[in-house]
Amino acid sequence: MKQRMLGRNGPSVSALGLGCMGMSAFYGAHDDAESLRTLNHALDRGVNLLDTADMYGPYRNEELLAQLLKSRRSEVVLATKFGIVMDSANPAARGVNGRPEYVRSSCEGSLKRLGVDVIDLYYQHRVDPEVPIEDTVGAMAELVRAGKVRYLGLSEAAPDTLRRAHAVHPIHALQSEYSLWTRDPEQQALALCRELGVGFVAYSPLGRGFLTGAIRSPDDFDADDYRRGSPRFQGDNFRRNLALVDKVKALAADKGCSPAQLALAWVLAHGEHIVAIPGARRQRNLDDNLGALELSLSPAELAAIDAVFPPDAVSGLRYAETVMTMVQR
C-alpha cells in the first residue's frame, strides 16, 4: 500500500483512506454487517486511515468502528471529528460549537464510543465563527498534552484560520472537499498546506458517488438519501453534471480504468501531501477505488481531464445554502 505523510513528523497513512460516514448516515439504507466486512477488508488491503465523526448517525458510526477496533486497533490511524451539533428534534438543523469546554466533552464522548484510549487525528469539523480559533485549538492542544489525542486537524477552514491555528499548535491535516467537481482548494489551500507542512485530506473525492458514473437518475437514491435535496443533484444541474461525468467516463475507457479510478488518481496527482478518503460501503467498490493507486497520469492526461471538466464547469452549490454558511471560504 502506498503511504503518504500527514504533515511534518505526522502519521504515515495509506494514500487512499476510507471515509466511513455513508456506512451510518446520509446515504440511505445501510447494513452494519456489510460495513464491518468492508472495514476488515480495507485493513486487509493495507488501508489504515479510517475517518469518522461524532455527528455521523449521530454517534452510530463511531459505535460501528468500535466493533472493528476491539481486535484491530493497532492497524488503524483513527480520525474523528467534533464541532457540528445536531438537533435531535430536527435532524436537518445543525449548529457549530468550538468552545473549549465542548472540545473536551466531545473528545471524552468519542473516546468512550470508540472504545479507545487515544484518538490518532482529531479534527474540528467546522470552525465556530463565535469562538476565536486560538481558543478552540488551545483546548485541542490540551488533549494532546493529556495523551488523549495524537495529532490535530481542521475541516473546511479558511487559509487565514489555518495559519492562526497552526501558530497555536501544529496542525497535521486540513480536510476539505476536493474532486473534479469541487476545485476550491486549488485557489489557496493546497499551496498553503504545502508551505506549512500540513497534510491535505480530500473528502468526497468522487463527488458523493456521482463521479463513478453509476448514478444516472435522482431515482437511483433511496428516499431518505440526502443527495436528493443537494443542489448538484437537482433538475438541470443534474443533467448538466451528468454530461460532464460522461466525458470523464470516456477518458477512463480510453485509459482502461474505471471513472472512479481516474477521478481518484487525478486528486492524488495534485501533490504528495494529499490523501483521499473516498467512501465505500461494499468490498467491490473499495477494491475498485484502490485500483487508482496503480494509475499514473501524465501531464497531457491531466490536461485532457481538465479540458473536459474545467474548474468552473459544475452546476449547483455543493451544499444547500444553509449548510454552505458553515463552510469557511
For residue 234, being part of any structural domain is answered with no
For residues 284-311, average pLDDT: 97
Widest pairwise Cα distance in the chain: 54
For residue 140, being part of any structural domain is answered with yes
Instruction: List, for residues 129-178, the tens digit of each pLDDT value.
Output: 999 999 999 999 999 999 999 999 999 999 999 999 999 999 999 999 99
Cell of 58: 449521530
Average pLDDT over all residues of the chain? 95
DSSP letter assigned to residue 316: S
For residue 310, being part of any structural domain is answered with no
- Domain membership of residue 138 as a residue range: 3-209+266-292
For residue 328, being part of any structural domain is answered with no
Are 126 and 137 in contact by the 8 Å Cβ rule? The answer is no
pLDDT at residue 219, as a whole number? 86
Helix axes 133-145, 159-168, angle to 10 degrees: 40
More confident residue, 319 or 101: 101
Instruction: List, for residues 70-107, the tens digit of each pLDDT value.
Output: 999 999 999 999 999 987 666 666 899 999 999 999 99
Q: What is the pTM of this model?
A: 0.95
For residue 283, being part of any structural domain is answered with yes
For residue 313, being part of any structural domain is answered with no
For residues 260-275, average pLDDT: 98
pLDDT at residue 328, as a whole number? 80
Active-site residues, by number, are 56
Q: How many domains does the chain have?
A: 1
Phi-psi region at 69: left, alpha or beta (left = phi > 0; alpha = psi -120 to 50)? alpha
Q: What's the CATH code of the domain at 38?
A: 3.20.20.100
pLDDT at residue 261, as a whole number? 98
For residue 226, being part of any structural domain is answered with no
For residues 42-48, average pLDDT: 98
